[in-house]
Amino acid sequence: MKNQSTTQIADLVESFVSDLEQAMQQTVHETALNLVREALGDAPAPSPRRRTSNPRKARGSSSSSNKSGSSSKSSTGKKNKKQTRRSEEEIAETTNIILAHIRANPGERLEQIGLALGTPTKGLKRPIANMVSEGVLHTEGQRRGTKYFTTKKAATKSATKTKASKANKTNEQKP
């Protein structure tokens, strides 16, 4: 009985090792084939993603944006999009919208402002930081708990911008 059990176990281990060797050879073959295709310019067939024991290690630094600016696939399979800068007019427009919202709702946090305006907080950070540095807004709190309030400068800033934008529109309309 003991010999039969050990024989069965040995057969199972041998079968497992054989299957494992075949899987490794197939993976190496597919990887080599994909590298050759990539070098020749052909698009490789997507291979199935395998989970690693630690998904954070699998992400690594290759998911960061490509320095050459091209849109290539990262290790996560997502395309890196080339980021475009917003124009000064777009930032000014966003600034006016934010300023109007903070006047109507003083003391809100960045997350609350973003939710109310339907804008990601990433797009609000720069205009708000500019207004804080110009003295149009003042803050209370730190980090995520930072609340924004308008200052007396905010009233003069919006009036000046309104006059300037009206002047630009009238200059554009003149032949």
Segment 123-127 shows an average pLDDT of 89
pLDDT digits (tens, 9 = 90+) for 66-116: 444 444 444 555 566 677 888 888 888 889 999 999 999 999 999 999 999
Query: Going by C-beta distance under 8 Å and a sequence separation of 6 or more, which residues neighbour residue 149?
Result: 102, 106, 107, 137, 138, 139, 140
pTM of the model: 0.45
User: Is 28 strand, coil or helix?
Assistant: helix
User: Is 23 strand, coil or helix?
Assistant: helix
3-29 residues labelled b (16+ CB within 10 A) or e (exposed): eeeeeeeeeeeeeeeeeeeeeeeeeee
pLDDT digits (tens, 9 = 90+) for 12-63: 898 898 888 888 888 888 888 888 887 787 654 555 555 556 555 555 544 4
Strands 147-150 and 108-109 come out as antiparallel
Q: What is the CATH number of the domain that holds 126?
A: 1.10.10.10
Segment 125-139 shows an average pLDDT of 91
105, part of any domain? yes
Domains contained in the chain, number: 2
Instruction: State which residues form the domain around 14.
Output: 2-45
